[in-house]
A and B are shown apart, each in its own frame.
Chain A
Amino acid sequence: MFDFLQGYDLLGAFWVTVQLTVYSAIGSLVWGTLLAAMRVSPVPLMRGFGTAYVNIVRNIPLTVIIVFTSLGLFQTLGVSLGAERFTTINFRLAVLGLTAYTSAFVCEALRSGINTVPLGQVEAARAIGLSFPQVLRLIVLPQAFRSVVAPLANVLIALTKNTTVAATIGVAEAALLMREMIENEAQLLLISAIFAVGFLCLTLPTGLLLGWVAKKVAVKR
């Protein structure tokens, strides 16, 4: 029944999906944290930038962003992100697009976490002479992260599924392979089921693990 799988690199495709997810997750965690820091910063220009970025990026379809990285950044502006092989360029562009998009959601999740940190602790931190970046880094963000592990898990799961959009610019991840297999084999339902299960294998453990972490690290008040 599974004979038709011969000749397709199923694991390889899912491995690309995992790589897209991991690199984009790291990228959006970093950039999303910086955006959140900007959104709560005392400097109006930074606040303005953070707010504008989130509101614009969140409201553009991911497909548009991913296509833009390829057509706009690469083909028009010649941005190749230091790669030479076509597949590498597309992979990196996809990570860039996914990061740009997902970081807006990371930022908003974090900002809701920042709002759970009592203002009094921020004042106490300022009162012992910590600077704004120190207050953020030592007091606010550690507590904010702990309170948003669960929402961040949702962002991560959404990201895992969103990596399928990278297929539009030819990144050889799971969805691209799925399309190819559906075209070549007369096994539509079975193939869909295989890929659905493949994604569940990635997302379910993520959700369970981070759900457990969320409970574990919650700050007692």
Chain B
Amino acid sequence: MPVPDGGDALVVLRGVDKHFGTLHVLQSIDLTIHRGEVVVVIGPSGSGKSTLCRAINRLETIDAGEIVVDGRPLPAEGRELAALRADVGMVFQSFNLFAHKTVLDNVTLGQIKVRKKERKKAEERARSLLDRVGVASQADKYPAQLSGGQQQRVAIARALAMDPKVMLFDEPTSALDPEMINEVLEVMRQLARDGMTMVVVTHEMGFARSAANRVVFMADGRIVEETTPDEFFHNPRSDRAKDFLSKILHH
């Protein structure tokens, strides 16, 4: 898949640094994500992939550097930050659906409270999104009544309902039983085909190969390699990447 034209940068990280105490989790990260691009982030455990994702919608603060989303630097706090977060969709490893709300209410909540849509409009949109991710029939159930794969697809619908400019996925299939992984990946592939800008942290190499425009390989808080999936899987340059690939591809 060709990388979309470099002109249209949607998310830009410049010299981003982050510490947890003495641990330097993000070390001068520079990364640009273009509109319509699908970037897969991979790397060993503890390399800072989740922190990177969370920094992009400021669930984590950063110590230095700058993060720009669609031309606007990340605001520090308050109303503007909330508005920016609404533009950046996030899907978590553990789904994190609102347990006391039905599936439908999970998907309408943000539309009504953040986007100020009428309930009827919000419900229409929610139903069409639930249909798109294949869980329309579950709309009136509570999250605990759904399988993991269904819950994760609802979580994707919940994020999409905000009409985000970019979607962040932090290991969206890692908590799923194997037979459910594909139903979620298929939804993500479809999103990618529809032109959604996506940053996906995943260990699913098949998804990286088939859907990613670019692979970012992280280790020890740094971006070690940044290239096309083909290049990365067949010609990794760094020893860290070679080592990592040999481990994950051989079991």
* B interface list, Cβ under 8 A from A: 57, 59, 78-79, 82-90, 92, 94-100, 109-110, 113-114, 142, 144-145, 155, 158-159, 162
Contact = CB atoms under 8 A, between A and B. Distances in A.
17 contacts: A118-B94, A120-B96, A123-B96, A124-B98, A125-B98, A126-B82, A127-B85, A127-B159, A128-B89, A128-B109, A129-B84, A129-B85, A129-B86, A129-B162, A130-B114, A131-B82, A138-B113
A89 B100 CA distance: 42
A139 B113 CA distance: 12
What DSSP secondary structure best describes chain A's contact surface? Answer: helix
Contacts of B85: 126-129
B29 to A, nearest CB: 20
Contacts of B92: 120, 123-124
Contacts of B158: 124, 128
Nearest to A129: B86
Question: Could you say which of B89, B92, B98, B142 has the most chain A C-beta atoms within 10 Å of its C-beta?
Answer: B98
Given A130-B82, A221-B144, A124 B97 contact: yes
Contacts of A138: 109, 113
Interface string A101-135: 00000000000000000101101111111110010
A146 B162 CA distance: 28
A220 B142 contact: yes
Question: Could you say which of B86, B92, B100 has the most chain A C-beta atoms within 10 Å of its C-beta?
Answer: B100
A143 interface: yes
A142 interface: yes
Interface string A192-219: 0000000000000000000000000001
B130 to A, nearest CB: 16
Contacts of A221: 99, 144
Contacts of A139: 98
Nearest to A147: B100
A126 B59 CA distance: 8
A198 B238 CA distance: 80
A134 B86 CA distance: 14
B50 to A, nearest CB: 11
Contact of A220 (B94, B110, B144, B162): B144
A169 B110 CA distance: 51
Contacts of B109: 128, 130, 138
A129 B59 contact: no
